[in-house]
A = this chain, B = another copy of it.
Amino acid sequence: MKKLRSIYKNKVKMPPGTLPDEVNGPKQVKYTVIEYSSDHASMNEYHNLDDCLPDLHSSSVSWINIDGIHSSAVVESLGKEIELHPLVMEDIMNPLHRPKFEDFDNHIFVIFKIMRFDKKNINFSEEQVSLILGENYVITFQEYKGDIFDPVRKRIDQGQGRIRRMKSDYLFCSLLDMVIDNYYPILEDLDEVIEEMDEKVHLSSQALPSELYKCQKQVNFLHRSTWPMRDVISDILRSENTLINGKTRLYFKDLNDHILQIIDLADSFRDNVNALMELSIAINGDKLNRIMKFLTLVSTIFIPLSFIAGLYGMNFKNMPELETRYGYYIVLGVMLSVLIGMVMLFKKRKWF
């Protein structure tokens, strides 16, 4: 949430569509330009926007990946080149934007979230990725340098699959697919974390509630972050923009299936964590019950016996029982009967 604070502090007073002067984050920007058609593919890296711009309107498909969204100059000059709306530029530079889909005449703009999961601290973190689909190009913006798109790069490079035979919309879909498929290993990790907690709850309950609470918080976060992605894909499927080809539409439907499955899994995790929380409370209550029963058993047996012993520990001069020969043994007998009576009462009431 620290992120929230640092970014919005300045934003409030700015007109909509204003690019922030400065966003915290690495200033160094790296451009990776991949250009391919069915018969060739080239990949180049630049550190200067002007070097990679000429590639943009060529006849083959160009994919420009930009690592680093923290420099407004870069976004602005690129935006001018491909006629981005100022609000889109603002969204690209706002790393806290919700996943969204915006349909312009000559390009489609999508914001998605790359999720990371720190299994040790049970903590999710999001990275924003913005994608622009044009007639013959795709531009991707990542917050930090990452390798999430590497498999697509490899596929283009090696001419694997059908990617080189198809247009930019298929590349666009493949990149979104990478982002979504990235949820699966995270869900596995989360699944393991929850199973570990499950075991812990069943074995002992040492300091568990706060760990479960942490987990609950993260699972809620996951739930909230997966739903908007579904809206984005639905919007794409409903959009009538001709940039997305009829044939590619089926691949977006496939993405939709994946997202629905991810949401299903996220929801089932949420249910399980909540049930675990309840179980943990119930088990604790059960344990307390057993301990209290034992205390009650011991106390109610010995308190009356101690009273009897105390009674004959009094120092009154005139206590005839004390003088009798078998007084002691009679008292011992009485004590024994009290004990047996108590135990039988407990057994009858099924208290232990």
18 A-B pairs with C-beta separation under 8 A = A1-B195, A4-B184, A5-B188, A8-B184, A15-B155, A15-B163, A15-B174, A97-B261, A207-B286, A285-B288, A291-B351, A295-B300, A298-B303, A302-B303, A303-B306, A306-B307, A317-B323, A318-B327
The answer to whether A318 and B314 have CB atoms under 8 Å apart is no
Number of copies: 5
Interface size on A, residues (CB 8 A): 120
Q: Is A312 an interface residue (CB 8 A)?
A: yes
The answer to whether B1 and A191 have CB atoms under 8 Å apart is yes
The answer to whether B298 and A316 have CB atoms under 8 Å apart is no
Q: Is A283 an interface residue (CB 8 A)?
A: yes
Given A15-B160, A96-B261, A306-B306, 5 more A-B residue pairs with CB atoms under 8 Å apart are A15-B161, A202-B210, A298-B300, A314-B331, A318-B328
Q: Is A281 an interface residue (CB 8 A)?
A: yes
Of residues 40 through 81 on chain A, the ones whose CB sits less than 8 Å from some CB of chain B are none
CA distance A253 to B88 in the complex (A): 11
Shortest A295–chain B CB gap in Å is 4
Minimum CB distance partner of A293 in chain B: B291
| Residues of chain B lying within 8 A (CB to CB) of residue A306 | 302-303, 306-307, 310
The answer to whether B322 and A327 have CB atoms under 8 Å apart is no
Among B1, B280, B313, B322, point to the contact of A310 (Cβ < 8 A). Answer: B313
Prevailing SS type, chain A contact patch: helix
| Residues of chain B lying within 8 A (CB to CB) of residue A303 | 298-299, 302-303, 306
Q: Is A267 an interface residue (CB 8 A)?
A: yes
Task: Please encode chain A, from 161 to 190, with 1 for each CB lying within 8 Å of some chain B CB and 0 for all others.
Answer: 111000000000110010001101101100
